[in-house]
């Protein structure tokens, strides 16, 4: 009986609080599934159902509360999952993001929790060809442009000042383990500017003790060690610099992105440089055609990549798509093609095609 009284009292308190402040909670997410063909993974061709390739599957809760005087509270809880198996993504309940914060209109927001570092901001400039899916990113995502989280992070995001926005974050190194991409301390920052059809941005991220999917690069050796496709290295430091620009003209958009990633381990260091050039065109309101070319250089190895996509909108929230990706490797003996998230080829070439269905809610 006492439990029922306590529950009723808490309910009345929450209703009373809602009468004095405007608040809202939005449920949102995305689901993506399709059939992929890869001509070479370890020497064999594969046809498989794969989800979260064009757009990662997500379920999230975003809450805001107006505190008056221009102040507001905000929180976000977001998880990833497999559509085909129902398994949690990142091995966590809210593996994508989990934070709470306060903000003031005209100043910005301070957020506390598990958050993306600012290299994710480069995706804003990949929008013209983002429909080509996860295969557009660097083979092992060494530049973290596909979006990686930092645990125990404090982040400040400014309001817009005449088209200029900026942000900075610091992550405390206190969560060693597979749930974190930073065992040591980390910091990240970004500056972005927009004026009419033009946008540009700069990002920097620096992390101590971070695991990287070194074997997915396709390089035969890295940081003085011989690689296998499954090799994961816990590097001493990962430093990423990124610059990007985008321009919109009519039904066309074009963008250019450059990233420079330096890895250090046991006195060895290596630098990975990637350039993306691409854009998209809307011949009809419901049709988007996109293309991107990339060059990636890591030590003596290099890769040329081409990504193409055609998307047809069935509605504002649902679309079907076709993706094509090809890669040619060269340089150091033993370098193989290894399109992002597909698995390494046994040769210097790899081709992927995919048809899928995507829905946002």
For 185-231, how does the pLDDT look when each residue is reduced to its tens digit (9 = 90+)? 999 999 999 999 999 999 999 999 999 999 999 999 999 999 999 99
What is the pTM for the complete model shown? 0.90
pLDDT at 241 over 80: yes
**Rounded to whole angstroms, how far apart are CA atoms 127 and 278?**
10
For 40-49, how does the pLDDT look when each residue is reduced to its tens digit (9 = 90+)? 999 999 999 9
Residue 96: per-residue pLDDT:
94
Confidence band for 91, pLDDT divided at 50, 70 and 90 = confident
- Answer CATH for 24-360 from 3.30.56.10, 2.40.160.10, 3.40.50.10800, 3.30.300.30: 2.40.160.10
The stretch 121-138 carries a mean pLDDT of 95
* E strands present in the chain: 23-41, 44-51, 58-68, 71-80, 97-104, 108-116, 149-158, 164-171, 186-195, 198-212, 221-222, 225-226, 233-249, 252-265, 268-284, 287-298, 301-313, 318-331, 349-360
**Rounded to whole angstroms, how far apart are CA atoms 310 and 283?**
11
Cα Rg of the chain (Å, integer): 22
For 292-342, how does the pLDDT look when each residue is reduced to its tens digit (9 = 90+)? 999 999 999 999 999 999 999 999 999 999 999 999 999 999 999 999 999
**Rounded to whole angstroms, how far apart are CA atoms 308 and 290?**
6
Q: Which residues sit opposite 26 in a β-bridge?
A: 62
Find the helix or strand (DSSP H, E) in which 8 lies. helix 2-18
Confidence band for 179, pLDDT divided at 50, 70 and 90 = low
**Rounded to whole angstroms, how far apart are CA atoms 170 and 288?**
38
The stretch 134-154 carries a mean pLDDT of 95
Least confident window among 93-97, 192-196, 343-347? 93-97
Asked if residue 213 lies in contact with residue 140, where contact means CB atoms within 8 angstroms, the answer is yes
Which tokens is 3 given? 């439990």
Burial 301-317 (b: 16+ CB within 10 A, else e): bbbebbbbbbbebeeee
Residue 90: per-residue pLDDT:
86
**Rounded to whole angstroms, how far apart are CA atoms 74 and 64?**
4
The stretch 117-142 carries a mean pLDDT of 96
The stretch 234-238 carries a mean pLDDT of 96
Residue 177: per-residue pLDDT:
56
Mean pLDDT, rounded, of the chain: 92
Residue 339's SS3 state is coil
The stretch 276-299 carries a mean pLDDT of 97
């Amino acid at each position: 009986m006492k439990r029922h009284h306590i529950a009723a009292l808490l309910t009345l308190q929450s209703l009373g609080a809602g009468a004095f402040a405007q608040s809202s909670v939005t449920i949102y997410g995305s689901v993506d599934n399709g059939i992929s063909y890869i001509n070479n993974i370890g020497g064999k061709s594969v046809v498989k159902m794969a989800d979260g390739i064009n757009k990662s599957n997500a379920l999230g809760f975003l809450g805001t509360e107006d505190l008056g005087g221009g102040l507001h509270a905000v929180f976000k809880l977001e998880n990833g999952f497999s559509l085909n198996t129902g398994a949690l993504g990142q091995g966590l309940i809210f593996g994508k993001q989990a934070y709470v914060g306060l903000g003031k209109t005209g100043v910005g927001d301070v957020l506390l929790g598990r958050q993306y570092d600012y290299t994710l901001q480069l995706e804003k400039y990949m929008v013209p060809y983002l429909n080509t899916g996860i295969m557009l990113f660097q083979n092992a995502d060494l530049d973290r442009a596909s979006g990686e989280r930092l645990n125990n992070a404090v982040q400040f995001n400014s309001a817009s000042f005449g088209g200029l926005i900026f942000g900075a974050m610091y992550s405390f190194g206190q969560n060693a383990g597979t749930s974190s991409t930073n065992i040591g301390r980390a910091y990240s920052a970004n500056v972005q500017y927009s004026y009419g059809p033009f946008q540009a941005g700069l990002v920097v991220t620096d992390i101590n003790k971070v695991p990287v999917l070194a074997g997915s690069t396709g390089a035969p050796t890295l940081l003085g060690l011989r690689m296998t496709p499954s090799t994961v290295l816990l590097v001493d430091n990962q430093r990423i610099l990124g610059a990007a620009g985008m321009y919109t003209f009519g039904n066309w958009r074009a963008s250019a992105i450059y990233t420079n990633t330096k890895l250090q381990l046991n006195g060895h260091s290596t630098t990975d440089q990637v350039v993306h050039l691409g854009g998209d065109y809307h011949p009809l309101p419901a049709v988007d055609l996109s293309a991107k070319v990339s060059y990636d250089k890591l030590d003596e190895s290099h890769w040329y990549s081409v990504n193409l996509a055609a998307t047809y909108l069935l509605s504002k929230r649902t679309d079907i798509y076709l993706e094509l990706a090809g890669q040619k490797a060269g340089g150091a003996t033993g370098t193989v093609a290894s399109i992002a998230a597909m698995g390494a080829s046994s040769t210097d070439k790899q081709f992927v095609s995919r048809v899928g269905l995507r829905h946002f809610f």
